[in-house]
């Protein structure tokens, strides 16, 4: 069959090409990235896109220069950043030990499991109006929402990490007569680290959702508010600018955690 | 499987004589004095358990899980009744139940449910039918993937709900806006893992298919798609959460109709019981959809051997 | 049955061991071992061979305390110093998050020794198994054979009265396995240990052992207890000598008869 020959002839290993061809990747990536921006610019320029709705890359750059130049955007960035950081930090500090405890003590785990999966399935943003009512319109309400959104991802991932400890590794510790404490520190904790990290990665993203939603619903500062406010003012360039900053923050964050995760890759169990 | 039951003499003995502690006690009774300097590893002293305790041991997870859930609600109720947590802010299980009973008799509630369900189904299914083929395309063709990677990574890292004001700019505050934001939430959650699944298809299987002269089409249906199913399911799981966020926030933002508005209005009217009943509906929706995905996954994955077997020799 | 020996020389004596399993998914019970008796004498190298799933690894786990028998008992000589027994596990049983040195020192840390002292005590063992200079490496940086050397060193470090080895070379390629076999004999000779070794490789069993225990298909029972009278020290050439081949054939006959029985049960076992 001719189709067979042509297929067999190309792409020797679809599983590894992403790592194999960094220069090709960069070339096509740059083409895709710049291409979209250029098309966008042209489309707006010739009137295919409405300027008020779609803006244009050049207008976004101009808006960025204005707002960064005047410094008007910094309070929004610092507000959002501190809401995110405080909520996420509390989530990590409370969530990781809680996840370890739930995963480690079988009966405790059983006891919490139904409750935990019910809470996990609940979209926490639905609680936003209640949180605002209870905690007011200040930073507290936003921190609470961020915390609620991030902590369960961290707990659930940590618990599943403790559960996925390799049974053979446990047997080795048992075989050499390791104490419970040593079993925990020498086997359970190290094998759970990759899971904790992926929990933190997911939790960090969820926390960002919390920041945005809280600021949409009630705020007078922050990137979420900046996007929302400029939307109602039909100032589309600033809407895109705000979205761009959030996306970039998300990418930087993800990469940072991935760098840490890669350090543990050599002994990372297979998970998806 | 034994062809003939009689090939299993050992098994039958095991079932007929559940314990043979006599062996241990005989050894102990013979009282060997030369035992000094030896450690004895004895057999399991199997306790005779009552029927109830055996049942409990078999169902401990379920029993404790339900106990946990029930005690959560009972504790909440008691604390609310004692006034230790404010019923005004946090309501109480019984008040939520009462509000729920009142609510389900209200036709407006069912309109809200229908609208939210419609938005969710539309947004999520459009996302599914577009994201899966596109994900397979991107995962399969290297250059397509490289070209779109920067933008895909950007949208994947972005909390998609941030696009809400933009979507409002584009299509206004109607139901299209909500469907679009739900779609955006779900789409990227599905396309990313799908593409990753295609990228990581085991080469051996592809080689097998090609060496037997499989057409491109056959290659996809016989190897690529089955191998990618677990990834797609993972994507759908993530997408459910994102889509539900889209429903709630989209409705709260637009303030027209749906369960999100119901929650928001209830809270504005300081009716925390009605509001929490609304949240409960979302919890149930989340559980049902996640369970449904699990059922479908188990069906699609029935060829995958179960890994939960004790002692693999 | 086991050769009669003076009680003071016994390192391990198992009587009437019976192990039942419950498959969690099918909820079925099956017998892994039935009325299993075995004596091991000080300084001996004893190997258990048998078809897959005959419960030979199960027995080792019972001795090691990882599994409890449903009946029977085992007497294990209490070591004056060190542990009574230690296990060399099957492939890739090193902790991937510890360096080779920390893996080898692990047993001592379990016994309550400080990490620093344990490392000091582990160093000579690393030298003994031929891993000098690899102490700082992580397991994934080692070949399969080297990983099993470290695995062996970890067990030797706790100075066990009885060394239990659970198919330690099963995952290695043929050449590496032969090298590891002769290395094991060298180390055994230097460390003066009593070894209870599990394998499904007949030539491995004959080459290494003083005694080979041949087991039946499940539920595992002892079919034969064969004394291997080949001169020591043995090098790999011994595998080509007629007495060696005769031992191999004798054991093969016993196992093959079992395979026929089990084939009707398991479709080939």
pLDDT 10s digits, B143-172: 999 999 999 999 999 999 999 999 999 999
Q: Taking CB atoms and an 8 Å cutoff, what residues of chain A touch B171?
A: none
How many Cβ atoms are within 10 Å of A89's Cβ, its own excluded? 15
Residue C254 located in a structural domain: yes
pLDDT band at A16 (very low <50, low <70, confident <90, very high): very low
Least confident of A206-210, A225-229, B1-5, B221-225: B1-5
Residue C82 located in a structural domain: no
The answer to whether A87 and A146 have CB atoms below 8 angstroms apart is yes
Predicted pLDDT of residue B23 = 31
Give the mean model confidence (pLDDT) for residues A4-29. 57
Residue C31 to residue B313, Cβ atoms within 8 A: no
- Number of structural domains in chain A: 2
Q: Coil, strand or helix: which one is C76?
A: strand
- Give yes or no: residues A125 and A42 share one domain: no
Whether the per-residue pLDDT at B4 is higher than 60: the answer is no
Q: Which of residues C34 and B105 earns the better pLDDT score?
A: B105
Residue A139 located in a structural domain: yes
Whether the per-residue pLDDT at B225 is higher than 60: the answer is yes
Residue A174 to residue C65, Cβ atoms within 8 A: yes
- Give yes or no: residues A83 and A217 share one domain: yes
Residue C195 located in a structural domain: yes
Predicted pLDDT of residue A272 = 31
Q: Taking CB atoms and an 8 Å cutoff, what residues of chain B touch C71?
A: 19-21, 23-24, 43
- Give yes or no: residues A25 and A150 share one domain: no
Predicted pLDDT of residue B46 = 65
pLDDT band at C257 (very low <50, low <70, confident <90, very high): confident
Give the mean model confidence (pLDDT) for residues B175-180. 95
Residue C15 to residue B40, Cβ atoms within 8 A: no
Q: CB pairs under 8 A, 24+ apart, for C118-124?
A: C121/C157, C122/C153, C122/C157
Q: Which domain range does residue A32 map to?
A: 18-49
- Give yes or no: residues C112 and C130 share one domain: yes
Q: Which of A123, A224, A251 is opposite residue B157, by nearest beta carbon?
A: A251
Predicted pLDDT of residue C4 = 47
Residue A60 located in a structural domain: no
Whether the per-residue pLDDT at B309 is higher than 60: the answer is no
Q: Which CATH number covers residue C37?
A: 3.40.50.300
Residue C158 to residue A169, Cβ atoms within 8 A: no
B125 CA to chain A: closest CA distance, Å? 19
Give the mean model confidence (pLDDT) for residues B91-114. 95
pLDDT band at B192 (very low <50, low <70, confident <90, very high): very high
- Give yes or no: residues C17 and C111 share one domain: no
As a whole-number percent, the residues of chain A with pLDDT over 70 amount to 90
- Give yes or no: residues C172 and C259 share one domain: yes
- Give yes or no: residues C129 and C250 share one domain: no
The angle that helices A106-121 and B272-300 make with each other, rounded to 10 degrees, is 110
- Give yes or no: residues A98 and A132 share one domain: yes
Whether the per-residue pLDDT at A268 is higher than 60: the answer is no
Predicted pLDDT of residue B278 = 95
Predicted pLDDT of residue C74 = 92
Q: Taking CB atoms and an 8 Å cutoff, what residues of chain C touch A176?
A: 83, 86, 106-107, 110-111, 158
- Give yes or no: residues C224 and C242 share one domain: yes
Q: Taking CB atoms and an 8 Å cutoff, what residues of chain C touch A171?
A: 66, 89
A15 CA to chain B: closest CA distance, Å? 5
The answer to whether C162 and C196 have CB atoms below 8 angstroms apart is yes
Whether the per-residue pLDDT at B16 is higher than 80: the answer is no
Predicted pLDDT of residue B19 = 25
- Give yes or no: residues C194 and C244 share one domain: yes
* Cα gap B114→B108, rounded to integer Å: 10
Q: Which of B159, B202, B283 is opposite residue A208, by nearest beta carbon?
A: B159
Note if the bond before B244 is cis, omega within 30 degrees.
Answer: no
- Number of structural domains in chain C: 2
pLDDT in tens, A19-54: 557 788 899 999 999 999 999 999 999 988 888 888
Q: Which domain range does residue C115 map to?
A: 98-160
Predicted pLDDT of residue B298 = 85
- Give yes or no: residues C54 and C129 share one domain: no
Residue A92 located in a structural domain: yes
Give the mean model confidence (pLDDT) for residues B28-57. 70
pLDDT in tens, A128-168: 999 998 998 899 999 999 999 999 999 999 999 999 898 88
Contacting A residues, span 24-43, partner chain B, CB-CB under 8 Å = 24-25, 27-29, 31-33, 35-36
- Give yes or no: residues C172 and C60 share one domain: yes
Residue C2 located in a structural domain: no
- Give yes or no: residues C65 and C182 share one domain: yes
pLDDT in tens, C147-195: 999 999 999 999 999 999 999 999 899 999 999 999 999 999 988 899 9
- Give yes or no: residues A41 and A80 share one domain: no
- Give yes or no: residues A100 and A228 share one domain: yes
Predicted pLDDT of residue C91 = 78
User: What subunits make at least 3 CB pairs under 8 angstroms with B?
Assistant: A, C
Whether the per-residue pLDDT at B15 is higher than 50: the answer is no
Give the mean model confidence (pLDDT) for residues C124-147. 92
The domain boundary residue, chosen from C117, C136, C160: C160
Q: Which of C8, C71, C77 is opposite residue B24, by nearest beta carbon?
A: C71
Whether the per-residue pLDDT at C261 is higher than 80: the answer is no
Whether the per-residue pLDDT at C225 is higher than 50: the answer is yes
- Give yes or no: residues A22 and A157 share one domain: no
């Amino acid at each position: 069959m001719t189709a067979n020959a042509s297929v067999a002839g190309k792409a020797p290993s679809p599983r590894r090409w992403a790592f194999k061809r960094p220069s090709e990747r960069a070339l096509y990536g740059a083409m895709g990235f710049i291409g979209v921006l250029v098309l966008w610019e042209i489309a707006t320029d010739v009137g295919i896109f409405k300027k008020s709705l779609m803006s244009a890359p050049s207008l976004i750059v101009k808006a960025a220069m204005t707002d960064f130049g005047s410094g008007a955007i910094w309070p929004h960035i610092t507000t959002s950043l501190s809401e995110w950081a405080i909520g996420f930090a509390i989530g990590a500090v409370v969530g990781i030990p809680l996840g370890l405890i739930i995963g480690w003590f079988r009966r405790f785990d059983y006891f919490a499991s139904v409750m935990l999966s019910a809470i996990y399935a609940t979209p926490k943003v639905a609680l936003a109006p209640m949180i605002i009512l209870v905690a007011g319109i200040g930073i507290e309400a936003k921190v609470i929402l961020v915390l609620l959104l991030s902590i369960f991802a961290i707990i659930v991932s940590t618990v599943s990490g403790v559960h996925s400890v390799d049974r053979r590794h446990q047997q080795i510790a048992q075989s050499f007569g390791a104490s419970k404490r040593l079993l925990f520190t020498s086997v359970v904790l190290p094998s759970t680290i990759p899971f904790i990290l992926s929990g933190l990665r997911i939790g960090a993203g969820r926390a960002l959702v919390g920041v945005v939603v809280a600021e949409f619903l009630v705020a007078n500062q922050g990137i979420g508010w900046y996007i929302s406010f400029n939307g109602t003012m039909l100032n589309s360039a600033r809407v895109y600018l705000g979205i761009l900053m959030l996306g970039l923050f998300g990418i930087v964050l993800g990469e940072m955690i991935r760098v840490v995760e890669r350090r543990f890759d050599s002994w990372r169990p297979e998970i998806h | 499987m034994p062809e003939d039951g009689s090939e299993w003499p050992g098994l039958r003995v095991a079932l007929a004589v559940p314990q043979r502690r006599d062996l241990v006690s005989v050894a102990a009774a013979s009282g060997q004095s030369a035992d000094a300097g030896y450690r004895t590893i004895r057999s399991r002293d199997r306790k005779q358990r009552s029927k109830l305790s055996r049942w409990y041991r078999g169902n401990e997870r379920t029993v404790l899980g339900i106990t946990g859930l029930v005690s959560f609600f009972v504790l909440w109720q008691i604390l609310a009744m004692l006034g230790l947590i404010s019923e005004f802010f946090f309501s109480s299980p019984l008040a939520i139940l009462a509000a729920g009973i009142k609510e389900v008799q209200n036709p407006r509630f069912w309109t809200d449910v229908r609208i939210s369900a419609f938005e969710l189904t539309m947004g999520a299914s459009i996302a599914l039918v577009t994201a899966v083929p596109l994900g397979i395309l991107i995962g399969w063709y290297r250059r397509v993937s490289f070209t779109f990677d920067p933008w895909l990574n950007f949208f994947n890292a972005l909390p998609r709900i941030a696009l809400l004001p933009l979507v409002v700019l584009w299509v206004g505050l109607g139901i299209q806006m909500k469907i679009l934001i739900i779609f955006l939430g779900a789409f990227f959650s599905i396309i990313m893992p799908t593409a990753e699944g295609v990228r990581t298809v085991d080469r051996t299987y592809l080689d097998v298919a090609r060496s037997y002269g499989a057409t491109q089409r056959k290659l996809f249906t016989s190897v690529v798609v089955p191998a990618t199913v677990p990834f797609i399911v993972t994507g759908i799981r993530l997408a459910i959460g994102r889509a539900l966020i889209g429903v709630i926030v989209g409705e709260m933002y637009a303030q027209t109709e749906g369960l999100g508005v119901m929650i928001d209005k209830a809270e504005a009217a300081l009716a925390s019981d009605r509001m929490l009943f609304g949240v409960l509906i979302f919890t149930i929706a989340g559980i049902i959809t996640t369970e449904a995905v699990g059922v479908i996954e188990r069906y699609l994955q029935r060829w995958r051997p179960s890994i939960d077997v004790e002692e693999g020799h | 049955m086991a050769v009669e020996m003076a009680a003071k020389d016994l390192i391990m004596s198992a009587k009437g061991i019976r192990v039942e399993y419950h498959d969690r998914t099918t909820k079925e019970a099956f017998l892994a071992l039935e009325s299993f008796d075995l004596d091991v004498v000080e300084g001996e190298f004893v190997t258990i061979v048998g078809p897959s799933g005959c419960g030979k690894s199960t027995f080792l786990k019972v001795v090691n305390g990882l599994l409890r028998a449903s009946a029977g008992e085992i007497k294990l000589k209490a070591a004056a110093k060190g542990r009574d027994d230690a296990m060399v596990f099957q492939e890739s049983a090193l902790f991937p998050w510890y360096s080779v040195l920390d893996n080898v020192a692990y047993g001592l840390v379990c016994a309550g020794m400080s990490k620093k002292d344990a490392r000091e005590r582990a160093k000579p063992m690393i030298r003994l198994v031929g891993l000098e200079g690899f102490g700082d490496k992580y397991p994934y940086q080692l070949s399969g054979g080297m990983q099993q050397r470290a695995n062996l060193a970890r067990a030797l470090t706790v100075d066990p009265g009885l060394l239990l080895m659970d198919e330690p070379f099963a995952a290695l390629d043929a050449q590496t396995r032969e090298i590891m076999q002769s290395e094991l004999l060298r180390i055994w000779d230097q460390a003066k240990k009593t070894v209870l070794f599990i394998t499904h490789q007949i030539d491995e069993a004959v080459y290494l052992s003083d005694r080979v225990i041949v087991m039946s298909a499940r539920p595992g029972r002892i079919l034969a207890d064969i004394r291997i009278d080949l001169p020591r020290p043995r090098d790999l050439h011994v595998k080509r000598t007629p007495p060696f081949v005769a031992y191999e054939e004798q054991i093969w006959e016993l196992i093959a008869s079992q395979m026929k029985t089990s084939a009707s049960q398991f479709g080939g076992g």
